[in-house]
Each structure stands twice: as structure tokens, then as C-alpha cells.
Structure 1
Amino acid sequence: MRFGKLGWVMLLGGLGVCAGAVAEVHGDALRNDPDVKEAYRYFYDLDYPKSVALFEKVQAAHPGSPDATTFLLEARVFEELYRQDLLDTTFYANDGFLTGKHPTPEDPTVRDRIFALEDRVEHEAGARLSKNPRDVDALYARGWARSLKAAYLAMVERGFSGCFHLALAAHGDEVKVLQIDPQYEDAKLVVGTYQYVIGALPWGFKFLFGFAGITGSKSRGLEMLRDDFEHGPMTSAEAGTVMALFLRRESKYQDAIAVVHKLEMQYPHDFLFHLEEANLRKDAGEGMAAAKAYEDLIEDAKKPGYFPSSHVELAYFGLGEALQGQRHYDEAAQAYEQTAWTQGVGAELKRRSLVDAGKAHDLNGQRAKAVQDYHWALDNGADTTQGELAKKYLKTPYHE
């Protein structure tokens, strides 16, 4: 994947000690609550309404608990990111997502609800920390809540300055957790992500960050993420997802696929884990095998109840990319157009798919169809990076 400086900052804020054998894993005792376990089962099936409903019940049963509020915040944030098609890693691998103009339609009601929940965690955690500064559960909850808000700021609002400051604050909280309790495995998600992201920066940026006392190591970060993936009681799946993303960036596709396979076995009804395997096969250059994986995923999504929640537009888009990579331009254009006209498709994905459909038509010598796709892209956002590309290709046909 191709990331600029802002990309690393987004990942540092949005995803979110010595490695080795773990004799005993520590963590928030509330994770053992039956309702919490059931809510997370729905969460990883992407059935967010049921997950949110149960987490609201947990929060009501534990007033003043920053942990319970953070559970609900996590479900609310990911529910919104999924609604807007922002949980497919392919979205961040193309056309300067983080440096271009890619507005998404923000829902003020959802935003206010998310910000209010994060504020509540700050208040609840602060109250406990004022009595006991070494309260690891309160520190962990506050750090995780800050990283979740940072993810929303980066991915929906593109508010990278605010995201960066929240990310640093989240990292500070989780470092303190591990200093107090090195076996608090869940805290390694944010710290390990931070370590990798800073370690992966170009030397010049790393040098500047070093002056501010900010250092990192890619190998150290991956080591911590693997610890969390293998032992974390709450954030194992999140650590595996981030680790697969970083392995993908390192072109270690088979290692990443192995991680995703474990997640698929653990959560067989999670549409996104199956999608990520197809994405990895595409990036690994498996071509038509990747296309077959997308097609199988689309067919599985049509089966009643197979996935509690599926966004097939993401699979159609991946199919288009796989087919275009194999120079099957006509079929690729059809897949991209299917993406664009799928009910509920996110605004940015719709624009991207229409421009890519036009490019595929241009490559196939179908100029009239390409022009139509570019006009449709403009109709859905002329003052965007994709809109600018559509204008460019209306003047001059796209060519490789």
C-alpha cells in the first residue's frame, strides 16, 4: 500500500513492554460479562444494531464505568465507518486518499453522539484516575476511546491535526498501562501500531519526530501486535486486522493471508474478513484466483443469513480491480458500474468506481461509455479528487 505522511498519522490515530511468552493475561474484568461477550459476537458479525443495543444495556448497568462507555463508543464508531464503506483497506491504497479531496457526507447526529460518548469516557476515567492514578482499566479505556475518536476524525472529517494530537494522547495512556501492568495485552494494540507507524516513516520525518522524543520500530510494533493478536482478551481481532494491513504493506502477502484465515475461522460470518482475503490475493498478483474469490464472496452474500451484514459493493469494486489487472476491461467496467449502482454505496466509493469504469471503457476502446461514466462521476461530486480526474479524462481519454 502507498501511504504519505498523513497516511501514517491517520493509521496511528485510527487503529488503535517486552514481547514473549505470556504467563498471565490481565485486562478489564467487565470483558467477562455475558452481555459484553454477546455484544462483541454481534460486533464481529458486523451486526451493529444488535451490538449497540447490548452495549447500551451494559452501560446502563454500570453507571460511571469508562470501560462500559468505551465498548459502546467502539460499536458506534465502527457502525458509522462501515455504513460509509470506510472499512475496506483498499480504500486507502489509491489516488492519494489522505491528501486529496474526498468528502464524505457526515451525519451531524451520529458525530455528536460519538463525540459525546468520548467526552463521557474522559469524564468517567478522569474521576477514577483522580482517586487512583494507577487505575489501569481507566487509563486503558481513556486511551482506547481517544484512539476511536481519532479514527473518526481522520476517516470521516479528515481532521488530521486533531487526530494526531488525540493519537499521541492515546499512546501516552496505553504506555502508562503497560508500565504499570506489562501483562495488560490489549494496550499493545495502540502502542504496537504507534511503534510500527513511526518506524515506517521516511528517515527525514523520523529524524524530526526524534527531536520531539517520538521514536518507533517496525519490528517492535509487529511483535507487540502479534502478542495482542495471540493473547489479547478484548482487542485480539483488531490487532490481527492491523497486523495483516502492515504485513500487506511489507508485501508479505502469505503471512497476512495466514492471519486473516485465523480471523475468518474465529468469525466465519464477518464479511470484511472474507473480503480482506480476496484483497490480499489480488495484491499478491494472483489475478483470476482473486477474481474468483470476489465472485464467491458475492454469491455467498446473496444467501439468506449467510452474512448478518454485507456490503457487496466492496466486493464488486475489488472484482473490478482484479479484472482490470488482468486486462479484462469490459468485465471490469461492468463490475465497477455494479459497485456504483449498488443500493447504499458510500459517496466516495461511488465516485471512484464510476471513474474507474470510465478508465476501463477507455482502455477497451469504448469512448462513449467512458464519457457517460465520467459525467456520472461529476454528477456525484465535481469538486473532489475523483471529479477532477473525470474532468481530465473527458478532455483526454485515459491510457496506461
Structure 2
Amino acid sequence: GSLPWGVKVAVSLVGLSGSKEKGLQYLNEATNSTDEIGVDAKVVLMLFLRRERRYDEALKIARGLIPRYPQNLLFAVEEGNLLRASGHNPDAAAVYRRIWQAGREGQYPGLHYELAALGLGDLLRNQKDYQDAAAAYELVSEAPQPDREYLQKANLGAGEMYDVLKKRDLAVRKYQAVLATNAESPPAQIARKHMKEAYRDN
């Protein structure tokens, strides 16, 4: 839904040069509200803190929201994203795995919890743990009715990992899956390129 008027004012203040701290102060005050305005303010403040790379402060807000909204997938994933952004990779991986398992057990009905598997794959890939990254990307297709965009990204990622691991047949199969989902998308263009020439990790 749309943000309440008070939060919109704070957002505009934060966006104006020279008024960032004033806007953040207003948002901080608004977070003390017990109604929905307080929740909206916390979400906006969390996003701004992340943008400012004040990850620990943003993480504190996320962890305060998750117990109140246990079925909110985005809050849960944001915890993992913030941990990853702040360099706490093992903790981030644990969060992504926990979300995936909770999703399998029905905690996020109708939501695309496979986003956590995609995040896990990206994290492991950055750590050059290619085998486990491929396995994480493969999880995305196991979700019921996975988001097509997530599925394409995961299949492309898995294909690239298999190429790095010198498993060319598996890689090509994944690139074909990318094209089968949507042949006109940016990931499909990359997949076509990799089908002609194996991906190499620079």
C-alpha cells in the first residue's frame, strides 16, 4: 500500500540535500509509534540505513520486525542480505538456508521463498564455492511454481558454475532451461553466448 503522509514527509526530507539527518531523525521518532505508521517508518528507515551502509543499525530494525511478522518473506530475506553486505557471510548463509527450509515447511504460503536459495547461490559463488553455489541455484527449481525471473537467474548461475567446474553438458542443459523460460530476456542473451563459448570465472 501507499506510505502514510508522515512517512512520505520523512522520505522527502531524507532525499533533500542537507536535510538527510533531519529526515532520519523524523523517521527514528516515527518508529516509536505503535500503529502501522511506526512499522512503515521502520521499513523506510531500514532501507535508508542500508543505502547509507549502516548495516548494523538496519539489521537491528530487521531483527525487530521478523518476530512480529514471521510470515513476511522480505523482512527475513533482508536479514540475510544485510549480513552478507556487512561481510558476515556464514551468518547470511545460515539465514538463507533457514528461510528455504521454513518455506518448504509452509511458513511463507504463496510467496517466492526460492529467493533465499538464489541469494545463497550468489553468496557461495562470490566465495568461489562453485559446487555448493550450483547446488543452491538448483534449489530454486524445486520450489512450487518458482518466479520465472528467479528461475532464469538461478539456471544461468548454475550453468556458469557447471562451466567453471568443467561440467559442460550440465552447463549447456542449464542454458537451454534459461531459454525455455523466456528466450527474449537479458539472461537468455547471456545463456546464448555461453552456449557458444563456455563461461569462465575471471
Tell me which interval the TM-score lies in, with the shorter structure as reference length: 0.7 to 0.9
What CA distance in whole angstroms lies between the structure 2 residues aligned with 1:256 and 1:339? 27
Displacement of 1:313 after TM fit?
A: 0.6
Tell me the amino acid that sits aligned with residue 390 of structure 1: A
Q: Distance in 2 between matches of 1:220 and 1:273?
A: 25
Amino acid corresponding to residue 230 of structure 1 in structure 2:
N
Q: Which residue of 1 aligns with 2:133?
A: 332
User: What aligned pairs does 1:163-312 form with structure 2 within 5 A after superposition?
Assistant: 186-197=4-15, 199=17, 217-231=19-33, 233-303=35-105, 306-307=107-108, 310-312=111-113
Structure 1 residues 269, 327: CA separation in 2 closer, same or farther (over 3 Å shift)?
Answer: same
Match of 1:371 in 2: 172
Measure, in 1, the Cα distance between the counterparts of 2:182 and 2:83: 31
Question: Normalising by the residue count of structure 2, what TM-score does the alignment of the two structures yield?
Answer: 0.85
Residues 225 and 370 from structure 1, CA distance in 2 versus in 1: closer, same or farther, beyond 3 angstroms? Answer: farther
State the AA in 2 paired with 1:191: V
When residues 188 and 378 of structure 1 are mapped into structure 2, their CA distance, relative to the original with a 3 A threshold, is same
Rounded to whole Å, the distance in 1 between the matches of 2:181 and 2:104 is 27
**Alignment correspondent of 1:127:** none
Aligned residues: 201
Structure 1 residue ranges without an equivalent (≥5): 1-73, 75-143, 148-185, 200-215
Q: What's the TM-score once normalised by structure 1's chain length?
A: 0.46
Q: What does the per-residue CA deviation read over 1:254-283, in whole Å, with 9 as the maximum and x for residues that have no partner? A: 111001111123323433322211121122
Tell me the equivalent position of 1:313.
114
Greater relative CO, 1 or 2 (CA 8 Å, sep 6+): 1
Q: In the TM superposition, what is the alpha-carbon distance from 1:354 to its structure 2 partner?
A: 1.3
1:198 Cα shift?
5.3
Cα separation, partners in 2 of 1:265 and 1:374, compared to 1, 3 Å: same
Is the partner of 2:67 in helix, strand or coil?
Answer: helix
Q: 1:333 to 1:234 in 2, by over 3 A?
A: same
How large is the RMSD of aligned CA atoms in angstroms?
A: 2.4
Change beyond 3 A, Cα 1:339–1:194: farther
Give the AA of the match of 1:261: R
Bigger Cα Rg: 1
Once residues 114 and 186 of structure 2 are traced to their aligned partners in structure 1, the CA distance between those partners, rounded to angstroms, is 20
Partner SS, residue 70 of structure 2: coil
Q: What per-residue deviation string (whole Å, max 9, x for no partner) do you get for residues 168-225 of structure 1? A: xxxxxxxxxxxxxxxxxx42322322333454xxxxxxxxxxxxxxxx7433333333
- Distance (Å, rounded) in 2 between the aligned partners of 1:322 and 1:232: 36
Gap runs ≥5 in structure 2:
none
Give % identity.
30
> What is the correspondence of 1:66-77 to structure 2 with a 5 Å cutoff?
74=1
